[in-house]
Structure 1
Amino acid sequence: MPDDRSCRRATEALDRFAFRWARDEPGNRTGSCQLRLTGGLPERLRFFHLTDPAVTGRRSIEGTALKCAARLQVTRVEDLGLELPLWDITTGTGDFIANGVVSHNCFARNTHTYLDLDAGADFDRKVVVKVNAGELVRRELSAPRWRGAHVAMGTNVDCYQRAEGRYRLMPPILEALRDFANPFSILTKGTLLLRDLPLLRQAAEVTRVGLSYSVGFVDEALWRVAEPGTPSPHRRLDAVRRLTDAGFAVGVLMAPILPGLSDDEESIDATVAAIAASGASSVTPLALHLRPGAREWYARWLAREFPHLVPRYRQLYQAGAYAPQAYQREVTARVRMAARRHGLHRGETGDNRRLPDEPPPAPAAEQLSLL
């Protein structure tokens, strides 16, 4: 930082958002101000999620030690018979999600700005399509440098959104992954996934295939205003049932859980009951978090549809993208109790290769119309 004024403004901003920081002695002749975040990886991630800095070179967390204040103990170690890279991505609950990153409402909005499009109306109406995606995937999988790492799809933008019905990008992608026996997973809200069930079954014969659906609530009225353009929650859970009947262990990400809208006991119990009835193998709750881009868009939607909730959201999200951990622990506890009531275990799914001897007929897929 070139001068004391800039340094003072930076420290005031850090204090405003309750960041922990330290000031180091100048390490060069200019005597410039050197500020350093303390508090480890959680503070670094919170800083990146809040500010979304333009310089992204140091965002990588590879090799960073993860620390937790909770008194955790190892209860059992099991040999899975295979070696996989494990990426631990911290969440606001203090738990971890392995081998995948999930986010909602929707942090991918801000990526539209990389293309000089806005994160609001442009994100809703202008879809960027890489028409040679299947060809590129096959090329990457065949490269000598590729070591067969797990490929997680749907972690930024849903790969079964409406445009997929027209462009059919996923079949050649799945064919490439099948042909190279490369493990992969899919997280989606789209029932069009059922169209590709034969390819998923073929891939599951030779590699690990993970399937997950996102269902944050089952209230139809809330779905119509909060998730327009997506299949209804009951259609998604019907897809879970059909995939389960086809032999796959399908996890459900109960996200986003919306404060004041879907976080009460009645809503959570109804949602978990429906998820359990669908045959899902697990449920993983995540409260709404609002990163830059999504934060502004969601705030305008909330003020228009549910203005009485605006003060509560200001309080919950005043410190950044995530609601306070106490709130998230409370919501997670409600989901856990509901899961126990309905006989459903909370957590991530493992190997989904669980195929019957005789495959059932491929179910009909639902294709939503393009805007």
Structure 2
Amino acid sequence: MGWDALSLVDADDDRPLIERRAVLRGGFYETQARTMIERVPRIAGIAQRWAVSPYRGCAHACRGCGARAGHRRLGLDSGRDFDTRVVVKANAVARLRAELGRWGGEPIAVGVTGDCYQEAERTYRLMPGVVEALAGAGVAFTVYTKGPLVLRDAGLLARTGAQVAVSIAFVDERIRRAVEPGAVGGQARLELVSALVEAGVACRVLMAPVLPLLSDAADQLSATVRRIAAAGASAVEPVVLRLPPGTRQWYMSWLAGAHPRLVERYEELYDAAGLPSPAYEQRIMGQIGQLCEMYGMRSGAPEQVARAPRFPQLSLV
């Protein structure tokens, strides 16, 4: 949205930036995006370099969400505000169509700064337009979600050849309730995968984030991959928890209260940028890769192939 270019200073108004730039409707901050196609931070761990996100902030309230720092640039905090003060890019479809008129065809991720099928989508219905715009421009794209509302658009997603990656990091409900309190349970997401596959949608699972010392035991990984395979997913894309600024403070604060003995071990495992130890990450990725091979699924990020744009002319919007 070009938030970094906006000044946080206003001599006569000390409200958070977003409250000065947006209209509050139905509990959501409704604003006009300056930019829709944004660069994906390298630390995110997903395959795509570019993303489109109709929403910023997320009611799923996942403690390890790597997008939390974005709320700081709006004058909000990266903890509770990220979970409860969701920003809606009301002009997302029109702005996206304008930008796709000069897009080079690189693959795009959808739903990186906030789940694109969270509750706000029930009100604003931005995703059908986003999907149609991307498909019409011939862009390969992947929708990242853990929201059952995606089934509303299953027919459209199947017709347009969209890829959908459903986030299922673990199947232990005790862990899910602690670190993903606003999201539906693992079983519901496994059933979502099955329903998408049955509807003809190309569906894989984003096994992310794998939580060090909490969801990374061999039996936990095995149970998760086995149930993902049984749900009919074609592949698993694993990502170990990242702790960039903003996310790190919120996650570590929770960890200190819930699992204080693990704090020191996390501090040893993660570098200043929030990346886990390469040796640890390689071990976990290797274990998941072996499990996927055992259950007949592909493992790892899919190959990203840019397509020639269908509308290479400059946009007049």
TM-score normalized with structure 2 length:
0.73
CA displacement, residues 69-113 of structure 1 (integer Å, 9 cap, x when unaligned): xxxxxxxxxxxxxxxxxx998679xxx854347999222110111
Match of 2:118 in 1: 161
- Three-state SS of the structure 2 residue aligned to 1:163 is helix
Which 10-residue stretch deviates more, 257-266 or 99-108?
A: 99-108
Task: Give the alignment partner of residue 230 of structure 2, picking from 260, 267, 277.
Answer: 277
Corresponding position of 1:173: 130
Are 1:336 and 2:285 matched, yes or no? no
Structure with greater Cα Rg: 1
Alpha-carbon distance between aligned partners in 2 of 1:115 and 1:97, rounded to the nearest angstrom: 24
State the 4+ residue runs in structure 1 displaced beyond 6 angstroms.
87-92, 101-104
Separation in 2, partners of 1:275, 1:334: 15
Letter in 2 for 1:112: H
Equivalent of 1:219 in 172, 193, 198:
172
**1:113 paired residue number:** 72
Residue 291 of structure 1: SS of its match in structure 2? Answer: coil
Shift of 1:179: 3.9
Q: Distance in 2 between matches of 1:104 and 1:249?
A: 28
The superposition leaves residues 189-245 of structure 1 with CA deviations (integer Å, 9 ceiling, x where unpaired) of 1121111112212322xxxx2211111101011101110111212211211111112
CA distance in 2, matches of 1:327, 1:100: 24
Q: Please give the secondary structure, in 1, of the residue aligned with 2:88.
A: coil
When residues 285 and 183 of structure 1 are mapped into structure 2, their CA distance, relative to the original with a 3 A threshold, is closer
Asked whether the 8 Å contact 1:251–1:349 carries over to 2, the reply is: no
Structure 1 unmatched runs, 5+: 1-53, 56-86, 352-371
Whether 2:143 is the aligned partner of 1:190: answer no
**Contact residue 104 and residue 255 of structure 1 kept, 8 A:** no
Q: Determine whether 1:321 maps to 2:262.
A: no
Alignment check: 8 A CA contact 1:281 1:349 kept = no
Picking from 156, 166, 177, the partner of 1:199 is 156
Matched-pair contact (CA < 8 Å) for 1:250–1:349: no
The alpha-carbon deviation at position 166 of structure 1 amounts to 1.6
Matched with 1:289 is: 242
| Pick aligned residue for 2:92 from 127, 133, 136 | 133
Alpha-carbon deviation of 1:146? 3.5
The answer (yes or no) to whether the contact 1:177–1:203 under 8 Å persists in 2 is no
C-alpha distance after superposition, 1:10-38 (max 9, x if no partner): xxxxxxxxxxxxxxxxxxxxxxxxxxxxx
Q: Distance in 2 between matches of 1:125 and 1:151?
A: 26
1:257 corresponds, among 198, 210, 214, to: 210
Residue 348 of structure 1 aligns with an amino acid whose one-letter code is A
> How far apart, CA to CA, are the structure 2 residues paired with 1:88 and 1:138?
19
Alpha carbons of 1:251 and 1:274: their partners in 2 closer, same or farther (altered >3 Å)?
A: same
Is 2:238–2:285's contact at 8 Å kept on the other side of the alignment?
Answer: yes
Q: What CA deviation, in whole Å up to 9, does each residue of 1:30-70 have, x standing for no partner?
A: xxxxxxxxxxxxxxxxxxxxxxxx89xxxxxxxxxxxxxxx
Residue 86 of structure 2 aligns to which amino acid in structure 1?
A: V
> In the alignment, does 2:201 pair up with 1:244?
no
Query: Displacement, 1:135?
Result: 2.3
Q: Is the 8 A contact 2:170 2:207 kept in 1?
A: yes
Matched, 1:266 2:219: yes
Which secondary structure state, in structure 1, belongs to the residue aligned with residue 299 of structure 2? coil
Structure 1 vs Structure 2 CA RMSD: 2.8
CA contact (8 A) 1:244 1:250 kept: yes
Matched to 1:194, the amino acid is: L
Secondary structure of the 1:129 match is strand
1:67 maps to none
Q: Distance in 2 between matches of 1:138 and 1:101?
A: 15
Matched with 1:78 is none
For structure 2, list consecutive stretches of 5 or more residues without a partner in the other structure: 6-38, 52-61, 305-317
Larger RCO (alpha carbons 8 Å, 6+ apart): 2
User: In 2, Cα distance between the equivalents of 1:291 and 1:135?
Assistant: 31
User: C-alpha distance in 1, partners of 2:203/2:125?
Assistant: 23
Letter in structure 2 aligned against 1:264:
A
TM-score w.r.t. the length of structure 1 is 0.63
Count of aligned residue pairs for this structure pair? 258
Q: Structure 2: which amino acid aligns with 1:221? A: R
CA contact (8 A) 2:64 2:179 kept: no
> Which secondary structure does the structure 2 equivalent of 1:243 belong to?
helix
Task: Give the 3-state SS of the residue equivalent to 1:177 in structure 2.
Answer: helix
3-state SS in 2 of match to 1:134: helix
- Percent of aligned pairs sharing the same letter: 43
Distance (whole Å) between structure 1 residues aligned to residue 265 and residue 220 of structure 2: 19
Aligned-pair CA distance for 1:314: 1.8
Which amino acid in structure 2 is aligned with residue 119 of structure 1? S
Cα distance in 1, alignment partners of residues 298 and 137 from structure 2: 33
CA distance in 2, matches of 1:101, 1:268: 29
How far residue 349 of structure 1 moved from its aligned partner, in angstroms, is 4.1
